[in-house]
Amino acid sequence: MNINHFLSYKLAFTALLLLFNLGIYAHGESKVHIVYMGTRQHDDAQLTTSAHHQILTSVLGSEEAARDSIIYSYKHGFSGFAAKLTKSQAKKIAELPDVVHVIPNHLYKLHTTRSWDYLGLSTSSPPTNLLHQSNMGDSVIIGVLDTGIWPESEAYNDKGLGPIPSKWKGHCQSSTDFDPAKACNRKLIGAKYFIKGLEAELGRPIIKDPSFLTKEFASPRDRNGHGTHTSSTAGGSFSPNASYHGLAYRTVRGGAPKARLAMYKVCWDWPRGGCDFADVIKGIDEAIHDGVDILSLSLGTNTPQFAAVDMHSIGFPSFHAVMNGITVVCSGGNDGPIPQTVDDTSPWIITVAASSIDRSFPTLITLGNNRTFTGQSLYTGKETGFISIVHQESSDFEDNHYCDTLNTNDTWAAGKVVLCFLVKGDENDLGTALQVVQVVGGLGLIAAKNPTRTLDYYASDFPSIGVSFDIGAQLLDIRFFSRNPQVKLSPTRTHIGKPVSTHIASFSSRGPNSVAPAILKPDIAAPGVNILAAVPPSETPYEFESGTSMAAPHVSGIVALLKSLHPHWSPAAIKSALVTTAWQTDPHSGEPIIAEGNTDKIADPFDFGGGLVNANAAKDPGLVYDMGFSDYVFSYLCPMGYNTSAIGRIINGFVTCANKMPSLVDFNVPSLTIPSLRKTVTVKRTVTNVGPVNSKYKAFIEPPLGITIKVKPETLIFNSSTKKISFTLTISTSHKYTTGYYFGSLTWTDGVHKVRSPISVRTEFPELAG
């Protein structure tokens, strides 16, 4: 779609939306129609409007009837009008030679910042949609552990909400800049902060330290913006007319707009930023007491992790949350695309990878001869006019033409647009490069790099654009072979839909699980790239952010909807429903989901777990792989080698692990991962029927390359007395040498439900010393 067509589409959509918002409805025989006439025939807008009136007058018979009929005249980006017409009048106008077509008016859906519509959770969807069946998550309480919250944001308005749930035991903590009477309401029902762990680590109180107070709030209030962004993504209220300086203009809302929110501030921007583990544990503890239904944590540890990571991370405090029926959702980390970097790997946690959505931000680069290239950016400034483009020349003995080698001595960049290549560094170097170019007086930056969807670094009114290496190479040729090469950089536009497809973000941490390789991680993927949500107001009250931090609250919002619809489902059942119903292909185009990296590839379970979250399928999964207390203790903690005294302290009881320890591959997760297959193995799983009482499921297997899988029984029959059935999978390999992981799936189906479990198998033989 070229930019003119895009603008025309945008204007047509805006007009239809205005028609709805103004409450203009058809009366009697006349109904509103949109008459589209294509490109304007006149530069003078008044002449265009006159032409519209003339058409209506010719059909309706008088100027007075035309004036009464017309609603809008579209006269800027394209030509057309909206008018009240009978069916026969609309037909006559459609037959006129200047008319492209006539469209009957219809209700356009109230768009969010796109990610929720993209996931099939539109407010204009049918009543059978999960969003409506769950009453938008009403009365479900989402606890968020993060950097705090900005309570004055429109995202936390409580319009249309009922009383605070009676089970709620929490409160809002008072401080000099946080008055609970004003800050909290029926949406934001709890807000606390925890800093004693950080103070203990520093060896002194800092809550009244002037240097601390210049960078932080000694209260639940958010200075960083991360907590406001994540909490509003999970459960924010409807906030109309939101955008980032005009980009992605929509109504912002969370996944569960009627859910209640509680913020536990455990992360601080001082001295260097971070979340003290002691404070995090206290936050989880308080949340369990307060009565949250869901815990959403967009934080984690560094790679490498301890072998006993459950002991050294949020694993065990979250275990207690899960044992109290609280579903815990965590971000998987931003260390991708390196394998085995996924974080928060405890099996009772839902670990989330980050994907893109079907929205892009094309930005034009125009040469002096009017040739154009398209990059991606979030540039919100004005068109630059033509500026000379420069690139640092280097010899074979120098290595100074990359983005990460730009420095404040590069005065040659003053007054120019700089072209650089990001080859050796990572995307974090873009932020430094942008600062350097501005410091030395540069007027713009074009960064050539392996394309990804992450654009946070370009979110500015300073001209900066990311392009692919091939476009960068063409610009480099033009730079060297033209006398005075110049470029003009245009403001970014917003594009939704075709041809933009789903990618797993390059930064999203990857499996396999480095702690327990037989447990698949991540579990699921959700939108986490260029997500627009609320932040503390500075230049704008909404900003784009990217990271698995943004993906996790998407899943938390969906879990709130599921919890509202199925209040008795366990955290394991909810996790199973998400994993076994996920999309492996783009939900709109059907194309494979691509995993970004040094070389892009089709995504596999180590990139996205079960796939991209599919909320409407998860509400009715058919079967679930459920687990409870004894499963976690005897099928995970014992096989992981935790001693019985430690387990006993965790559960406050006596535990005896079996002499013949069960294998982790038998742990009843909704996936199968075999990290070292040599001989034939048999594994067991148990499924619980949550669909129609009388159901019959058949097994379909897509085996990994060179792997044979036999399921027994091949048919599962459920009735009023049989709600759970166990089955076995016998797996063998035909490979004679050690391989990498190959992937497949097991799907149980009754003709309506498809309960799909991802399978990951690596054949491994011992290497002989010689």
Known catalytic residues? 146, 226, 549
**Token pair for residue 6?**
């895009």
For residue 148, which amino acid is it? G
User: Please, are residues 542 and 242 in contact by the beta-carbon 8 Å criterion?
Assistant: yes
Q: What angle do CA 346, 351, 353 make, to 5 degrees?
A: 145
Sign of CA dihedral 689, 626, 230, 525: negative
User: Please, are residues 612 and 551 in contact by the beta-carbon 8 Å criterion?
Assistant: no
d(CA 579, CA 709): 21
Per-position DSSP letters for 120-143, written without gaps between them: T--TTS-TTSHHHHTGGGTT-EEE
d(CA 748, CA 248): 40
Tell me, letter by letter, the H, E, C secondary structure of 645-686: HHHHHHHCCCCCCCCCCCCHHHCCCCCEEEEEECCCEEEEEE
Comparing C-alpha atoms, which of 689, 695, 684, 671 is closest to residue 750? 695
According to DSSP, the β-strands at 247-252 and 695-702 are unpaired
d(CA 347, CA 520): 8
Distance (Å) of CA 66 to CA 24, 56, 62: 16, 5, 6
d(CA 262, CA 146): 11
Residue 770 CB neighbour total at 10 angstroms: 3
Q: Residue 369: CB partners within 8 Å, gap ≥ 6? A: none
Listed in sequence order, the DSSP H helices in 161-214 are 180-183, 196-202, 210-213
